[in-house]
């Protein structure tokens, strides 16, 4: 029940429109019953010119209608009834239009809001969340799972109200005509209910597996499309095609299992319907032969019972969609209810530009409890204006250490101090606003060169953007582009070389003009020529700033005021280059095997 309530909670803010849609659905269901009632006078009074005879004592209003029909000439009714039928039919279609329009509008509003809430929540989550979740899986939550919710609101919820209304209307007609026969029919309903309950249980499990498999497909698509260069380079197209074929076939198998269960409902309801029809003919047919019931009364009763079968079949399909929606709802709430691990304090205060130093005070860090300590007892001072180089073997904790400065993660133990203030007490905007980052991977968006440079500095003028590009040594290659600064760089900068992409990210950092600069192996993936241009741009960018550089080039290390050597989460050496060559065996080994060859 809680899952159903959570699913309905998506309607919050749209309940008036939803209630109005349900009201129109109810009206359209009544019109369905009214249309069926035209069978009574058409058969008895118009075509056979006989009196309408019903075995039950009908309500007073119905008695008056039957009395009027019996007293009215058949030729007169022949003119009135078809006209009344057309008017009723037109009114029903108008009501149906408003019901469908309002319900679909509600579904689109729900989908819009849920998609926005998911994106908003994802933007507020901390970096550790993304280390646990695949990008394709998150995309699947926003696209596939939200689409399932839309389908549930626009179609399933409509039928969830409409079909029970229709069942009540038609059962009501049947009870009005002959309550004994109706009880016989209702006694057969458990023959449908028990199989439907079993099928619903299976569908819930299959729906969860299906949506997880769709998330796997989305992840595979994102990986292979974004990594298409690697696919081409290693000629692994056939391997990836086979991987996709297996995932796709697995999804197909699960869908077919679900569809098989859904399609079982049709034969079950048809068989029960046939049993009901046979019982009705045997029970009421005798009354028609004996004159206790007119043929029109029999027809409206028989038609009402047959009309009940169709809504029951539709409700089976509704259950399939609802089960999918419940699973989608769980997956969506899994994101919406996730709390960021790094939270800005309600009393967070703004801090001015760094005036003294950044201090790591007995800092320890682990991504999760029980996952192992990545950083242990880190004590480090970074003074204003210093260039601090961080070196060490891969996986030693270098990137994790620098990510604690802008508070992408919170230390598990100890403190990171910014001019004496614990970074956990500072506002994100004031702290991160004065830190520029150039990472190993150049992150660009599928937008113009201009907008990529101005990302985060949207108020920048054209002259400022041009000047930033010149300082990053990017002006020359930008000028050669088809539309210069207005050229679209493609998805993740696909149309640019590695060096060109990196220079655009440097231009972005130049435009931000941060007093603190973090360089996370910014040139490690570049060829020699590109590295030369990028290093020149970085050298210009570093002037007059506090710089923390995860370094692999000897030139950067030699210029550093302080070199910090990290191994297995610990600082094993700290000092200038010449001193570390003699005091730190690990640094000497790194220098001999790596730095002096770069």
User: Is 394 exposed, middle or buried (CB count within 10 Å of its CB: 0-12, 13-18, 19+)?
Assistant: exposed
What was the pLDDT predicted at 358? Answer: 92
Q: Cα(335)–Cα(318) distance, rounded to whole angstroms?
A: 26
The pair phi, psi for residue 321, each rounded to 5°, is -70, -40
Do 478 and 484 form a contact (C-beta atoms < 8 A)?
Answer: yes
Ramachandran class of 547: left when φ > 0, alpha when ψ lies in -120 to 50, beta otherwise: beta
Provide the token pair at 464.
């400022």
**Token couple for 268:** 């079950």
Contacts of 532 (CB under 8 A, 6+ apart): none
pTM of the shown model: 0.73
pLDDT tens, N- to C-terminus, the chain (598 residues):
565 667 777 778 888 888 898 888 888 888 877 777 666 666 666 667 677 666 666 666 666 777 777 777 777 777 787 888 888 888 888 988 998 888 888 888 888 888 888 888 888 888 878 777 777 788 888 888 888 888 777 777 777 778 888 888 777 777 777 666 667 667 666 766 677 777 777 777 787 788 788 888 888 887 787 777 667 666 778 888 888 888 888 888 888 888 787 777 777 777 776 777 777 777 767 767 767 666 766 777 777 777 777 787 777 777 777 777 888 888 888 888 888 888 888 888 988 888 888 999 999 988 776 566 788 889 999 998 888 989 888 888 888 899 999 998 888 889 999 998 999 999 988 998 888 888 777 788 888 889 988 888 888 888 988 888 888 888 888 888 888 888 888 777 777 887 888 888 888 888 888 888 888 876 655 555 556 666 777 777 777 788 898 876 776 777 888 999 998 889 999 998 888 888 889 888 888 876 655 4
CB 424 within 8 A of CB 448: no
- 268 neighbors 195 (Cβ within 8 angstroms): yes
**Unique residue bearing structure tokens 């660009």:** 444
pLDDT at residue 251, as a whole number: 86
pLDDT at 332: 85
Return the pLDDT at 494. 76
- Is 330:348 a contact under the CB 8 Å cutoff? no
Q: Can you give the pLDDT at residue 598? A: 44
Q: What is the per-residue pLDDT for 381?
A: 92
CA distances from 491 to 122, 130, 154, 444, 512 (A): 21, 20, 34, 8, 23
Q: What b-and-e string marks burial along 142-181, b requiring 16 or more CB atoms within 10 Å of the CB?
A: bebbbebbbbbbbbbbbbbbbbebbbebbbebbbbbbeeb
Q: How many CB atoms lie within 10 A of CB 285?
A: 13
Domains of the chain (ranges; CATH) run 2-336 (1.20.1560.10), 357-434+514-597 (3.40.50.300), 443-510 (no CATH)
């Amino acid at each position: 029940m809680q899952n159903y309530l959570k699913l309905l909670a998506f309607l919050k803010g749209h309940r008036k429109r939803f209630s109005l849609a349900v009201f129109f659905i109810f009206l359209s269901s009544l019109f369905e019953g009214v249309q069926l009632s035209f069978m009574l006078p058409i058969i008895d009074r118009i075509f056979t010119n006989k009196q309408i005879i019903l075995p039950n004592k009908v309500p007073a209003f119905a008695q008056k209608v039957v009395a009027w029909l019996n007293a009215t000439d058949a030729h007169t009714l022949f003119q009135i009834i078809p006209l009344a039928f057309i008017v009723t039919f037109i009114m029903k279609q108008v009501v149906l239009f408003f019901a469908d329009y309002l319900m679909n509008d509600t579904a689109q509003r729900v989908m819009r809001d849920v998609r926005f809430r998911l994106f908003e929540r994802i933007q507020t989550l901390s970096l550790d969340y993304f280390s646990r979740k695949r990008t394709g899986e998150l995309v699947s939550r926003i696209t596939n799972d939200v689409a399932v919710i839309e389908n549930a609101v626009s179609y399933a919820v409509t039928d969830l109200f409409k079909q029970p209304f229709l069942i009540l209307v038609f059962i009501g007609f049947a009870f009005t005509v002959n309550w004994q026969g109706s009880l016989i029919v209702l006694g057969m309903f458990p023959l449908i209910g028990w199989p439907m309950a079993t099928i619903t249980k299976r569908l819930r499990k299959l729906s969860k597996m299906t949506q997880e498999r769709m998330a796997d497909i989305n992840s595979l698509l994102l990986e292979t499309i974004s990594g298409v260069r690697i696919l081409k380079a290693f000629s692994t197209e056939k391997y990836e095609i086979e991987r996709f074929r297996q995932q796709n076939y697995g999804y197909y198998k699960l869908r077919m299992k679900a569809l098989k269960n859904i399609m079982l409902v049709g034969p079950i309801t048809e068989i029960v319907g046939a049993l009901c029809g046979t019982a009705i003919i045997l029970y009421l047919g005798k009354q028609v032969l004996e004159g206790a019931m007119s043929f029109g009364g029999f027809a409206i009763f028989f038609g009402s019972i047959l009309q009940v079968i169709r809504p029951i079949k539709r409700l089976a399909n509704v259950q399939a969609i609802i089960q999918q929606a419940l699973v989608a709802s769980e997956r969506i709430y899994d994101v919406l209810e996730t709390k960021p691990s790094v939270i800005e304090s309600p009393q967070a205060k703004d801090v001015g530009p760094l005036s003294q130093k950044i201090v790591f005070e007995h800092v320890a860090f682990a991504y999760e409890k029980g996952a192992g300590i990545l950083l242990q007892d880190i004590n480090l001072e970074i003074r204003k204006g210093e260039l601090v180089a961080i070196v060490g073997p891969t996986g030693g904790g270098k990137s994790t250490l620098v990510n604690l400065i802008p508070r992408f993660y919170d230390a598990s133990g100890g403190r990171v101090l910014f001019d004496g203030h614990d970074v956990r007490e500072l506002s994100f905007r004031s702290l991160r606003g004065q830190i520029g980052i150039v990472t190993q991977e150049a992150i660009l968006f599928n937008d113009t060169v201009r907008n990529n440079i101005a990302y985060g500095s949207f108020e920048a003028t054209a002259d400022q953007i041009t000047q930033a590009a010149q300082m990053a040594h990017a002006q020359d290659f930008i000028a050669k582009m088809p539309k210069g600064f207005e050229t679209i760089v493609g998805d993740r900068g696909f149309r640019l070389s590695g060096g060109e992409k990196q220079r655009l990210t440097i231009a972005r950092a130049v435009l931000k003009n941060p007093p603190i600069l973090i360089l996370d192996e910014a040139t490690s993936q570049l060829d020699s020529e590109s590295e030369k241009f990028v290093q020149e741009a970085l050298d210009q960018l570093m002037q007059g700033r506090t710089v923390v550089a995860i370094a692999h080039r000897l030139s950067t290390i030699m210029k550093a005021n302080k070199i910090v050597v990290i191994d297995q989460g610990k600082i094993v050496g700290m000092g200038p280059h010449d001193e570390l060559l003699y005091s730190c065996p690990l640094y000497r080994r790194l220098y001999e095997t790596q730095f002096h060859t770069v």
